[in-house]
Chain A
């Protein structure tokens, strides 16, 4: 039941915010805070109270059992929806879902707070859209019925389109339409793949269903599987984004208002990673393996291309947008490496990138509100004017370039470590991205905050509302940098479960055992035992 609330609370708050705002715009903001903070509190509470259960499920049943079989979910909802077509309202939650939900609501809350002063027009409608997006995102991460997943996947397009088109910057309509068309086209390709899977499974077994757990392991010719995998990959690659399908991202991120950029970069593009881990690879392990080389090449190109493009930007926000392309390259690399180490790195990267890039977008937003430009050539020496802002920017720039001690470093390091075991070249070339990241991050700091002051800009430093936001984000990144275990432990259940599904295919690499031992080294004895037990056949 609790899963329904995650969708219903923001969904119910959305019209409330719109209707109540007619007399008092401020009400909409508070409704939106409630609509995101309440589920955030709920999911955090669930996380804390289920931490034991997650661990127990993992140790009691071994890595294999703790996963995609009904009954081992933390919670699930299963109801008939459109029975004639075998569509059910099937929500379920495991460790990865939990993390994605925390991220969704946290970013939603952040988006609302970040637009407290920036949004003055149609305040109610704006928060209606933000809450609607949040509800749809929660639905995306909770759905295990492929149709339901697609439904939510498409559902968040409309509010996001409005957020960009109505409250964005100069070229907002262009960016919004581009975003809309890219995502819709790729989503429809995924729909075709889903339907093909539905019919193949239905013809083979007589049960026509969109239930993901039943569709797993559907037998089909490898050429068909490859095509269907490409259908899923198209949708997720546009979202992530993967080079060369990334072109919507710099436009959408740059032209969106701050709140839109935060949700886009923080959660929306992560659907790509989530979808690959949850659906694409488990459904088509062999096809994924066959596609691995191409995907890794694309990932490496994305890492380097994104970094180089970031370096070449004058527009501060566009720079941050391009860094996302680079960081998401790491995510793609980690997913296609498909070993425990890399996947845990991916989950960490999902969270840390959301925090650091979200913060950078908010920072650019606050700066633009004050000086009305994003052009770095018109900045310079801003640190002297606003030292708190400068320091904050420095911190997040360092996080973005992967400074040891911060979460992003752990994430990218784990991904590269995992990739190394699969492809040394990809790891080496991917590591170049860290070097380039240093260049663009420091160059950004130099041009905007250091250097000579060539302008007469005067503005006030961060206000307490902003300081509070950044403080929370900084604290989270530092904690994840030094102690990522809680996150890794929560994601572990899913990571091992999806690997269990693909066991027996070439995708599950031999390196996994060693990798698990490395990670488990600092952990409790129980988990070390599990790592030992992992390869025994009796567990499978």
Chain B
């Protein structure tokens, strides 16, 4: 390894150093504010180091990791999202009198796992990144341990993520045993051959790999854990699972499949299409009957991953741009929505019942506005970034002539309007039974700033997305 390689690795090194610093600081001087500050500094340094790493021309560091612009872009996205989660967590933890310093350390290690995933070009780094991410998340879900539901959610997540890892490793082992390759480039012909290849063992390995990825992305039929974990986990951790965890895995999926030509009509394509349709239909329909905002967001995230798969199936550069743009939009929107939930939650319980939002517009006008913008962005309405996200996905699908998938997308996303507007109605329309039994903590300054920034992001890029699109085009251009 040369000095040049170290410069290329700089983002990862900074991101590895950050949790160590936070941990050491906590060992000598316990201060919640200091932990948050160090975390933010660490994340900011990571983002700065991206620009330094971008100056390097040689991007591949060992066969394991590739720090092309694609990876750098996603590391930036993950770091920014983590920073938002960290700030949103501060007040949530502060109110609850737990020792919160290690929480930030776990947040940073989880992000480190995500960063490894988005740069991964090898099974080894794939598995390593996924495990760093998952193990950190087990602890994060249960971190404020005083509530039984956190433990319940954590155990569920532990069991499912554990078995997911088993599936993945077994799949990798089968593929390696038969083909002797663990790299993306070596994998491309195998994936191109799809499930119809002559070698049954390889096909089985690929299926197991996809099952593992499917669990992480929580697409149907591997979605069962999502509502429970979203509901059970603390609201900021829910936001983290919904964005960073899923986004990193999807970025990896995109990288692994970029050199693969998925032939419409091949079994692999049909499997993906079926999963996409099932996710869109089930996610949207199951969300209809929920009264819990966290569960609504969970089911809606299943549907959104279905939309992403539609763009993913379009393949080619346009698909990569569409997926990345949609992920950025989805990150910002989901963080804003969960951010409101987190900001309004009290130590007694999270603000998760739809009744907690009744009349919110009269109690907290700006918070209600932020959540409304986020919900409209999830619904894909104009003037929000979600509109362009959905537009991009539909465009990618139309470009690849995936008409059946697009029509399902259109119809199911219309169903989605119903449950998004339910929350909006609860916030804005005066109801006769507006009771006093609502949760509504005061929104702290940090959360308010994050929510304001996210809302501004949603609207600014919902009106003029061109700069973001250009950035993303540059980012995905280095994918092989």
Q: Is B414's CB under 8 angstroms from A185's CB?
A: yes
Q: Please tell me if A196 contacts chain B, counting CB pairs below 8 Å.
A: yes
Contact A82 B394 (CB under 8 A): no
B418 touches A196 (CB 8 A): no
With A154-B382, A195-B394 in contact, do A177 and B418 touch (Cβ < 8 Å)?
Answer: yes
Q: Which residues of A contact B395 (CB under 8 A)?
A: 85, 195, 198
Q: What mask results when residues 154 to 168 of chain A are scored 1 for a CB within 8 Å of chain B, else 0?
A: 110110011001100
Minimum C-beta distance from B403 to chain A (A): 8
A83 at interface, CB cutoff 8 A:
yes
Residue B270 is within 8 A (CB to CB) of chain A in the complex: no
Instruction: Kindly list 20 other residue pairs between chains A and B, CB separation below 8 angstroms, not including A192-B407, A199-B399.
Output: A81-B466, A82-B465, A84-B473, A121-B430, A151-B382, A151-B387, A152-B382, A155-B383, A157-B381, A161-B421, A166-B428, A177-B421, A185-B410, A185-B414, A188-B394, A188-B413, A191-B391, A191-B410, A195-B394, A195-B399
- B399: nearest residue on chain A (CB-CB)? A199
8 residue pairs, one from A and one from B, having the closest CB atoms: A195-B398, A188-B410, A185-B414, A155-B382, A154-B382, A151-B382, A82-B466, A84-B469
- A166 and B429 contact, Cβ closer than 8 Å, known pairs A185-B411, A195-B394, A196-B398: yes
B376 within 8 A of A: yes
B403's nearest neighbour on chain A, judged by CB, is A192
Which residues in window 73-88 of A have CB below 8 A to B? 80-85
In the assembled complex, B453 has its CB within 8 A of some CB on chain A: no
Q: Are B381 and A192 in contact (CB under 8 A)?
A: no
Query: Which A residues from 6 to 35 make CB contacts under 8 A with B?
Result: none
Q: Which residue of A lies closest to B407 (CB)?
A: A192
A289 at the interface (CB under 8 A from B): no
Q: Are B421 and A180 in contact (CB under 8 A)?
A: yes
Residues of chain B lying within 8 A (CB to CB) of residue A157: 381
* A-side contacts of B464, CB under 8 Å: 81
Give Cα A151–Cα B464 distance, bound, in whole angstroms.
12
Q: Measured between alpha carbons, how far is A282 from B245 in the docked complex, in Å?
A: 48
Is there an interface contact between B376 and A158, defined as CB atoms closer than 8 Å?
yes
Residues of B with C-beta under 8 A to A147:
391
Name the residue of chain B whose CB is nearest to the CB of A157: B381
Q: How far is the CA of A218 from the CA of B136 in the complex (A)?
A: 55
Question: Complex formed: what's the CA distance from A300 to B205 in Å?
Answer: 62
> Which of B391, B414, B430 is in CB contact (< 8 Å) with A181?
B414
Which A-chain residue is minimally distant from B321 (CB atoms)?
A84
Residue contact B406 to A192, C-beta cutoff 8 Å: yes
**Selected contact of B381 from candidates A154, A173, A195, CB within 8 Å:** A154
Q: Which residues of B contact A (CB under 8 A)?
A: 376, 381-383, 387, 391, 394-395, 398-399, 403, 406-407, 410-411, 413-414, 417-418, 421, 425, 428-430, 464-466, 469-470, 473
A264 CA to B400 CA in the complex, in Å? Answer: 37
Q: Which label, helix, strand, loop or mixed, suits the secondary structure of the A interface?
A: helix
Q: A51 in the interface, Cβ–Cβ < 8 Å?
A: no
B418 to chain A, nearest CB (A): 6
Asked if A184 is at the interface (CB within 8 A of a chain B CB), the reply is: yes
Size category of the binding interface on chain A: 20 to 34
From residue B49, how far is it (CB to closest CB) to chain A in Å? Answer: 28
Give CA–CA (A84, B469) in the complex, Å: 8
A409 to B414, CA, bound (A): 39
Q: How far is the CB of B285 from chain A (nearest CB, A)?
A: 14
> B interface, by DSSP: helix, strand, loop or mixed?
helix
A37 within 8 Å of B (CB atoms): no
The verdict on A297 contacting chain B, using a C-beta distance below 8 Å, is: no
Whole-angstrom distance between the Cβ of B304 and the nearest chain A Cβ: 16
Q: Which residues of B contact A478 (CB under 8 A)?
A: none
Is A192 touching B413 in the complex (CB atoms < 8 A)? Answer: no
The reply to whether A84 and B425 contact each other, CB–CB distance below 8 Å, is no
- Give a binary string over A487-501; 1 marks a CB under 8 Å from any B CB, 0 the rest: 000000000000000
Q: Once A and B bind, how many residue pairs between them come within 8 Å at the CB atom? A: 77
Contact A165 B466 (CB under 8 A): no
Decide if A517 is an interface residue (CB 8 Å cutoff). no
For residue A429, CB closer than 8 A to chain B, the reply is no
Counting CB contacts under 8 A, is A189 at the interface? yes
A306 to B469, alpha carbons, bound, how many Å? 47
A133-157 vs B: 1/0 string, CB under 8 Å? Answer: 0000000000000010001101101
Measured between beta carbons, the chain B residues less than 8 angstroms from A196 are 398
Expressed in whole angstroms, the Cα–Cα distance for A166 and B426 within the complex equals 11
CA distance A192 to B406 in the complex (A): 8
Report the minimum CB–CB distance from B461 to chain A (whole Å): 11
Instruction: Note all chain B residues with C-beta closer than 8 A to A172.
Output: 429
Could you write out 10 A-B pairs with CB less than 8 Å apart? A85-B395, A151-B382, A154-B381, A154-B387, A166-B429, A173-B425, A188-B414, A192-B398, A192-B406, A195-B398
Known contacts A84-B473, A185-B411, A195-B394; decide if A165 and B381 are in contact (CB<8 Å).
no
Among residues of A, the one whose C-beta sits closest to the C-beta of B392 is: A85
> Inside 8 A of A121's CB, which chain B residues have their CB?
430
How far apart sit A80 and B394, CA to CA, in the bound complex (Å)? 22
Q: How far is the CB of A452 from chain B (nearest CB, A)?
A: 36
CB distance from A324 to the nearest CB of B (A): 24
- Give every chain A residue within 8 A of B411 (Cβ-Cβ): 185
**What residues of A have a CB within 8 angstroms of the CB of B398 in the complex?**
192, 195-196, 198-199
Residues of A within 8 A of B425 (CB): 165, 173, 176-177
What chain A residues lie within 8 Å of B465 (beta carbons)?
A: 82
- B37 → chain A, closest Cβ, in Å? 34
Q: Can you name the residue of chain B whose Cβ is closest to the Cβ of A177?
A: B421
B394 contacts which chain A residues (CB < 8 A)?
A: 188, 191-192, 195
Residue ID in chain A nearest B473 by CB atoms: A84
Interface positions of A from 53 to 98, Cβ below 8 Å from B: 80-85
Shortest Cβ gap from A256 to chain B (Å): 14
Q: Specify which of A83, A162, A180, A188 is in contact with B428 (CB 8 Å cutoff).
A: A162
Instruction: Kindly report which residue of chain A lies nearest to residue B464, judged by CB atoms.
Output: A81
Cα distance, A245 to B418, chains bound together (Å)? 19
A84 lies within 8 A of B406 (CB): no
Return the CB mask of A169-208 against B: 1 if under 8 Å, else 0: 0001100110011001100110110011011000000000
Which residues from A are CB-within-8-Å of B410?
A: 185, 188-189, 191-192
Chain A CB within 10 Å — which of B410, B465, B470 has the most? B410
Inter-chain contact B428/A165, CB cutoff 8 Å: yes
Q: Which residue of chain A has its CB nearest to the CB of B379? A: A184
Alpha-carbon distance between A191 and B413 when the two chains are bound, in angstroms: 13
Chain A residues near B403: list those with CB within 8 A.
192
Which of A165, A173, A188, A189 counts the most B-chain CB atoms under 10 A from its CB?
A: A188
B residues less than 8 Å from A166 (CB atoms):
428-429
Min CB–CB distance A191 → chain B (angstroms): 6
Do A181 and B417 touch across chains, with their CB atoms under 8 A apart? yes
User: How far does the alpha carbon of A80 sit from the alpha carbon of B382 in the complex, in Å?
Assistant: 18
Question: Given A189-B410, A199-B399, are A184 and B429 neighbors across the interface (CB < 8 Å)?
Answer: no
Q: Is the CB of A173 within 8 A of B382?
A: no
In the docked arrangement, what's the CA distance between A85 and B391, Å? 11
Instruction: List the A side residues contacting B383 at CB < 8 Å.
Output: 155, 158
Residue among B383, B403, B414, B428 having the largest count of chain A Cβ atoms under 10 Å: B414
A80 to B464, CA, bound (A): 11
Complex CA gap A80/B466 in Å reads 10
Contact of A158 among B381, B418, B430, B466 (CB under 8 A): B381
Instruction: With both chains docked as a complex, state the minimum distance between the C-beta of B379 and any C-beta of chain A, in angstroms.
Output: 8
How many angstroms from the CA of A195 to the CA of B397 in the assembled complex?
10
A145 to nearest B CB, angstroms?
13
Instruction: Report the separation of the CA atoms of residues A162 and B398 in the bound assembly, to the nearest whole angstrom.
Output: 32
CA distance A80 to B391 in the complex (A): 18
With A and B bound together, what is the CA distance between A191 and B391 in angstroms?
9
- A191 surroundings in chain B (CB, below 8 A): 391, 394, 410
